[in-house]
């Protein structure tokens, strides 16, 4: 099964995607598991989770939390976690909810992790090794992963539906409606997944990022 574990909805300040459209697009693109990880809230995740109950896809309630050192994906959580905490405190709060903490785009263009990555990985559960939306940094993340052997995830970081499913984490599982987010998290930690897909082209990214800015100032929603 294919999992896109980093998607944004309109509940992020820089996205215009409706949660139901994310679900429908993911299914159309052959994705069977998504994590909608909005900035600072889980509203989009919860809306998508309800919408997807009778559909062939698993929605993992998630959030992208902006810690003082960088962005951390909080996968499979129950309540939103505040921004601007120390990275270690952010991870602690994710774990307190039984969630999984993933360092997002650790070497991403203008959005990398600004801290001791090796030290924080002693606390985190894994790192995002392929992000379809960053201009650079994926190769460094891949090299870091090969050196240390951490668990990893893959995500489109889609802010608009055209990026959904460009990349994915492929797990050697058959999709079933009985699959749980907890089982997916344990599969990630077991390092049984494979990297799939290809990031957006330079042109696609060059169009995508200004569109995010239009969302930020309220001209595109």
Write out pLDDT tens, residues 91-146: 999 999 999 999 999 999 889 999 999 999 999 999 999 999 999 999 999 999 99
Write out pLDDT tens, residues 176-203: 999 999 999 999 999 999 999 999 999 9
Write out pLDDT tens, residues 29-77: 999 999 999 999 999 999 999 999 999 999 999 999 999 999 999 999 9
Higher pLDDT, 169 or 109: 169
Q: Are strands 100-103 and 194-197 parallel, antiparallel or unpaired?
A: unpaired
The C-alpha atoms of residue 6 and residue 104 are separated, in whole angstroms, by 9
Percent of the chain whose predicted confidence (pLDDT) is above 70: 100
Residue 172 pLDDT > 80, yes or no?
yes
DSSP line for 25-54: HHHHTT--EEEEEEET--HHHHHHHHHTTT
Residue 87 pLDDT > 80, yes or no?
yes
Helix (H, G, I), strand (E, B) or coil at 55: coil
CATH code, 2-216: 3.20.20.140
Residue 221 pLDDT > 90, yes or no?
no
């Amino acid at each position: 099964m294919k999992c896109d574990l980093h998607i944004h909805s309109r509940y992020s300040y820089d996205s215009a995607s409706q949660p139901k459209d994310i679900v429908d697009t993911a299914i159309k693109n052959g994705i069977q598991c998504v994590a909608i990880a909005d900035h600072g809230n889980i509203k989009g995740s919860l809306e998508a989770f309800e919408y997807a109950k009778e559909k062939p896809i698993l929605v993992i309630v998630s959030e992208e939390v902006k810690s003082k050192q960088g962005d951390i994906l909080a996968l499979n959580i129950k309540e939103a976690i505040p921004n601007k905490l120390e990275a270690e405190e952010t991870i602690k709060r994710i774990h307190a909810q039984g969630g999984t903490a993933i360092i997002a785009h650790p070497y991403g263009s203008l959005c990398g992790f600004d801290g001791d990555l090796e030290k924080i990985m002693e606390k985190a559960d894994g790192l995002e090794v392929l992000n379809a939306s960053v201009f650079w940094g994926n190769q460094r993340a891949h090299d870091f992963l090969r050196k240390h052997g951490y668990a990893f995830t893959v995500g489109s970081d889609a802010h608009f539906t055209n990026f959904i499913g460009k990349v994915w984490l492929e797990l050697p599982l058959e999709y079933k409606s009985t699959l749980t987010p907890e089982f997916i998290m344990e599969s990630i930690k077991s390092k049984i997944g494979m990297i799939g897909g290809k990031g957006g082209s330079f042109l696609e990214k060059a169009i995508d990022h200004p569109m995010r800015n239009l969302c930020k100032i309220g001209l595109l929603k």
